[in-house]
Every structure is written in C-alpha cells, then in structure tokens.
Amino acid sequence: MEDVVPMVVDLLAQDAAPGDLMAARVQMALSLGWHIVIASFGVGMPAVTVFAEWRGLRTGDPAFTRLAHRWAKAMGVLFAVGAVSGTILSFEMGLLWPGLMGRFGDVIGLPFAMEGIAFFVEAIFVGIYLYAWDRLPPRAHLLSGLPVCVAGVASAFFVVSANAWMNQPRGFDLVSGEVTDVRPWEAMFNPATPPQTVHMIVAAFMVTGFGIASVYAVALLRGRRDRYHRLGFAIPFTVAAVLSPVQVVVGDWAAHFVGEYQPTKLAAMEGLARTQAGAPLSLGGVYVDGELRYAVEVPNALSLLAKWDPDAVVMGLDQVPDDQEPPVTVVKWAFQLMVAIGFGLVALSGWWALAWWRRRGPPRSPWFLRIAALAGIAAAVAVEAGWVVTEVGRQPWIVYGVMRTAEAVNPAPGLATGLALVAAVYAMLTVATVAVLWRMARHRDEPVAPQEGVPEPVDSGR
C-alpha cells in the first residue's frame, strides 16, 4: 500500500496527451449535450402533466385526463432514460476528471449529494404516480405528483449550482496548492448560482413546452383537430409562450453577470478584439488572427447592453493572454444562435398571444402550426448552444481562474476508446428512446367522446 500511493500521485502529476484531452472533452460534451435535453423534460414535464390532471379533476373534461395519462407514460420513459445518462455523467466526472474531483470534491460534494436525494425522491414518487392511477383516490393521486415536480426542479438547481461554482469558485482557501477551510454552502451559493440556475430552469420549461406542443402541432396539421389534440397543443405551448419573454430578461441578467465576473467570456461571445469605449455589438463574423471579420456592427450597442452606458469601456481579447483565450468563433456563433432562436420563439409566442387577444382563439394560419412544429427542436438547439457558451467560453479553465482543464483530465492513455464506447451507448439509447416514444405516440387511447370529435375547418391562411 505504501508503494501504491506514490504511484497514483505520480500518475496524476503527468500530463495527458492532447488527443486524450480532446477525447475527454468531446465525451463530456456528448454526455452532457445528450442528457441536458432529457433532463429538461424531467424538469418541466411533471408540472405540465399534473396541471392537465388537475384540470381534468376540476372540470370533469376527459380530454385533460387522457392527456395526463399519455404524458405520464412519456414522462416515465424519459425519467428512466435520464437516469441512465445521468449515471454515465456521474461516473465520467470521476473517471475523466480525477484532478478536479480529487482536489475539489469536498468543495462541490454538497450539491451533488443533495441532487442524489432529490433524484431518489423523484424516483419514488414517479413510481407512485405512474402505477397508482386506479389505486389511489383522485385527489391523493394528484398530490403524489407534486413531489415529482418539486424534485425535478430541485435536481436541476443542485446540478447547475455545481457548474456555477466552476464559473465562480468560492468556499475554500488554497494554501500551497492544498484546499483548506472548505465552506460547502458558500461554494453552492456562489455568485453565478442565481442567474445560471434560473436561466436553465426556465429554459427547461421552454424545451418541455415547445417540445410537447410540436408533436400536437404536427397532428393538427394532419387534420386531427378534436379537443384532445387542441388542448395537447395549447397547454404546453402556453407555458412556453409565457416564459419566452421572461427568458429574455433572465438572459440579459446572465449576460450582465458574465460581463462583470467573466469579461473574457463576454469578449469571446461578442468577438471583441480590442478593449474600447463605446464598444459595438457585432452580428455574425469570423474571428481570425486576432480580428473579427465579415461582421455587421451596431455602434455603441455592446457598451449599452453590458454596462447600461453607450460610452462605457468593455474589455476586449487584447487583454487576455494567448494561452487563456477561448475558441472565439465557436463561442460567438453559439451565443448568437441561442439569442436568435430565443427571439424567434418570443415572436412566435407573440403571434399566439395576439391571436388570443383579438379573437380568443389560436392563429388560423397553417404557417403558425408549421413553425410551431419546429419550435421544439429549436428550443433544444438553443439550450445546447447556451451550454456551449457556458463551457467552451470558460476554457482553458475547468475551474475558472484556478485549475486548467488539462490539469484535471485523467492522464491514463486510451480515452479515445472510451469516447467510442460511450458514443455507441448513446446511439443505442437514442434509437431505443425514439422507438419507444414513437410506438407510444402511434398507440391510440380510448376513443374521443363524440362531442369532442367534431373537426374544425382548416383555414387557408387568407
């Protein structure tokens, strides 16, 4: 045993090969990118499902109850798949990044432990909710869904707070390279936690709302305009539509936080090459050789948005050492894609709200449903782009300003093999998940009541 410990220390002191470092980063990106979409449904779908069940009990309308039954089944499938991908991620944190967990595990262990508790609470009540429809009184069954809603949101909060710590490390002291005086609560509630957790939770509800609504939008386009399908579209779409403008405000809050606490990331998000007063907002462009080319600039707009002052000084990439500069073009385009999709979803939500305000009904144009059918995919892409900004924009740091990603990676050779295996697992998970959900979507429940089956005329859009 005395010989083993020095060997482990020496191994972790070695540098990983560049190819292995990239393989570890790609594997983590694949796992996180896959899991985050499934996890978004785990955050938002319980609330939408419980709401539909509540409306069914309140009104006696069977269409609400049918929707709750259908969505609960899909929720169970996605919960099971999310548990698999979440388990893979938890193993990857230790296997791929032993330098991070070995040094800072005590600091960020609290949110991971609390997320585990939230997960178990969610698992218990998901089981009760799914299998007790006919075994509990209706009100008791409805109440059994509330812990699922709370636990899903809590899980997201705890996990994202750990990531927020990586952006704003707090709650410890470094003495001669050793972590001392660990303060877990301070670490979990670091300055990045409020904007980052709120931004992610709102995004999760938007992915859920637009994602579910897009399925029913396709059905409506195919002429299935009974009450069941109209409600199946209206409930989740309304949730997402209400939150869309809220997300713009939250996103602005998050961007101001980045400007104050992570100016390098902001400079990368905007491709700002030089520190300047009255910094312009750049649309598009490619960052090459220290210059942003082919961009359309809006004078003074970045200073105004970042500092509420059109003449404020904004730090550029010329103040960043070359070995600390993130991949600017990737970060910039991911940020602009996220923002563009966000405002597109706000416009779609405004179309919906205007139609209801004018005539108490949804837009009649088939183009509304065509765009809504794509909104679910667009919302998921926006979430992925946002995480690219968060993670790639922090590079080369895994713990901002404290530990580089290259210091944290497992130095053992062969990480590319692990990447290939994990990619194969996620490919199988994707096929299996889509197949099961597709089969469930094709399965017909009990027929719609006659009074619900009267089709609406399809408006030509003129």
Collapsed DSSP state (helix, strand, coil) of residue 26? helix
Strand locations in 103-159, DSSP E?
A: none
Asked if the structure places residue 192 within a domain, the reply is: yes
The DSSP line for 341-408 is: HHHHHHHHHHHHHHHHHHHSS----HHHHHHHHHHHHHHHHHHHHHHHHHHHTTTTEEETTTEEHHHH
Q: What is the DSSP letter of 451?
A: G
Query: Which residue reads 């779409």 in tokens?
Result: 237
167 in a structural domain: yes
pLDDT of residue 15: 56
| Domain region containing 405 | 19-275+315-445
Q: What is the pTM of this model?
A: 0.88
Asked whether 85 and 35 are in contact (CB, 8 A), the reply is: yes
Cα–Cα distance between 37 and 41 in angstroms, integer? 7
**Nearest Cα residue to 71 out of 58, 84, 52:** 52
Q: What pLDDT shows up at residue 101?
A: 86
Contact of 281 with 305, CB cutoff 8 Å:
yes
Token pair 């869309």 in the structure block, residue? 244
Domain presence at residue 339: yes
Asked if residue 394 is part of any domain, the answer here is yes
Domain count, the chain: 1
- Residue in the structure block whose two tokens are 């009100």: 139
109 burial (CB, 10 Å; 0-12 / 13-18 / 19+) is middle
Residue 407 lies in a domain: yes
In a domain, 152, yes or no: yes
Q: pLDDT per position in the chain (462 positions), as tens?
A: 444 334 433 444 455 566 678 888 888 888 888 999 999 999 999 999 999 999 999 988 899 999 999 999 999 989 888 888 888 888 888 888 888 888 888 888 899 999 999 999 999 999 999 988 888 898 999 999 999 999 999 999 999 999 999 999 998 888 887 888 889 999 999 999 999 999 999 999 999 999 999 999 998 998 888 888 899 999 999 999 999 999 999 998 988 898 889 989 988 988 888 888 888 888 888 888 778 888 788 888 888 888 888 888 888 888 888 888 888 889 999 999 999 999 999 999 999 999 888 888 788 888 999 999 999 999 999 999 999 999 998 989 999 988 898 888 888 877 888 888 889 989 998 898 888 888 877 765 544 433 333 334 334 333
Helix (H) or strand (E) holding 280: none
User: Based on the number of CB atoms within 10 Å of its own CB, is 16 exposed (0-12), middle (13-18) or buried (19 or more)?
Assistant: buried
User: Concatenated DSSP letters for 45-91?
Assistant: HHHHHHHHHHHHHHH--HHHHHHHHHHHHHHHHHHHHHHHHHHHHHH
The amino acid occupying position 192 is A
